[in-house]
Amino acid sequence: MKILIVGTGVIGTLYAHALSEHHEITHLVRESKFNIMNERTISYDIIDEREDKENMYTIGEYTYKCALHAEGNYDLIIVPVNSFQLNEVIETLIKQAPNANYLLFTLNWDGTREIDSILKKEQYIMGYPGGGGTFKGNLLWGNIGQDVKLGAVYEEQKPLLGKTIKMFEECSIVPETPANILHALWMHNVGASPLGVGLSKYNDIDRFLKDEKLVETCFKAMSECYSLCEKRGVNLSEYPEAEMYNMPFSVIYPMFKNNLEENPIVQRFTAHALLAIDEMKDNFKKMLQSGNEMKMTMPNMQILDKLI
């Protein structure tokens, strides 16, 4: 397939590297970045979960091929942008590539009303990556999972979903296809945004973990937001993480702390979280607003709101 990826960020680069094994990849960049990024070669240090444990730690180089416009008869345009940037980005893309197919590779809280005002239903599917990381100078330090989340909101999107599943499978990435992709994205959002707001107090993982009171507030805020998701129609029994955050803090905190401190894959995910704090804050505000509109009592969300 001929694939265009918006930008040269961590997620775009990770999946460009993985998909380039079997597909032609181009990155869409602004004019100000074209001369910097086109044909630029970076190094990578990636935990590649597609490999067996002995071969997961991979190093190498990746060279960007860039374009200034989305025209070019691409089979798929992947849009891995912050959720608060999505509508503006696809408004720009649709003017350049009105007949293209799109994978919207980002979180969601607002549903699809605004998206549907820009794209035809059959033109897009939604999803979320299974990797993360950060750039350290000219080095991409990250991980890429064996899976991604993909889904069709509408029946018209299922042909595109099938083609996209095959595209990933050809590169040994097996997509998860939840029954309701919007619900899955909302739940993932809840698992990130309150923690992101708590993390923003320090912008440092170690200092955040030492503030047990703040971590506990984040856990309780997540539990409040899972209840909010349930009021929005999510079946929480399908998501074990919702029940986990109802466990006593004395039980869950040591597991959470140990995971962040000892799990190298989680450490790379967490490094990515530090790059996405603005997005998590924005989504946090939307969740709190939704709770207020539904007249929910969310005291821990209110405490975290004071950090913004």
Longest dimension (CA), the chain: 55
Beta bridge partners of 128: 149
- Phi and psi for 107 in degrees, rounded to 5? -70, 170
In the predicted model, is pLDDT for residue 284 greater than 90? yes
What pLDDT band is residue 293 in, cutting at 50, 70 and 90?
Answer: very high
CB-count exposure of residue 4 (10 Å: 0-12, 13-18, 19+)? buried
What percentage of residues in the chain have a pLDDT greater than 70?
Answer: 100
- Residue range 256-268: mean pLDDT, rounded: 92
d(CA 284, CA 289): 9
Nearest to 104 by CA among 65, 157, 64, 68: 157
Question: 247 vs 119, which has greater pLDDT?
Answer: 119
Nearest to 126 by CA among 169, 61, 176, 166: 176
d(CA 251, CA 258): 12
Mean pLDDT of the chain, nearest integer: 95
In this prediction, residue 275 carries a pLDDT of: 83
pLDDT tens-digit map of 41-61 = 999 999 999 999 899 999 999
Question: Hey, what are 289's tokens?
Answer: 């607003």
d(CA 210, CA 150): 36
Domain positions in the chain: 2-177, 185-305
- As a whole number of Å, the end-to-end CA separation of the chain is 43
In this prediction, residue 244 carries a pLDDT of: 84
What percentage of residues in the chain have a pLDDT greater than 90?
Answer: 93
User: DSSP string of the chain?
Assistant: -EEEEES-SHHHHHHHHHHTTTSEEEEE--HHHHHHHTT-EEEEEEEETTS-GGG-EEEEEEE--EESSS-S--SEEEE---GGGHHHHHHHHHHH-TT--EEEES--SS-SHHHHTTS-GGGEEEEE-SEEEEEETTEEEEEE-S--EEE-SSGGGHHHHHHHHHHHHTTT---B--S-HHHHHHHHHHTTHHHHHHHTTTT-HHHHHH-HHHHHHHHHHHHHHHHHHHHTT--GGG-HHHHHTTS-HHHHHHHHHHHHHH-HHHHHHHHHHHHTHHHHHHHHHHHHHHHHHTT---HHHHHHHTT-
In this prediction, residue 159 carries a pLDDT of: 98
In this prediction, residue 136 carries a pLDDT of: 95
Residue listed under structure tokens 């959720």 = 83
In this prediction, residue 169 carries a pLDDT of: 97
In the predicted model, is pLDDT for residue 234 greater than 90? yes
pLDDT tens-digit map of 16-44 = 999 999 999 999 999 999 999 999 999 99
- Residue range 192-209: mean pLDDT, rounded: 94
- Which CATH number is associated with domain 2-177? 3.40.50.720
d(CA 47, CA 50): 9
In this prediction, residue 269 carries a pLDDT of: 87
In the predicted model, is pLDDT for residue 7 greater than 90? yes
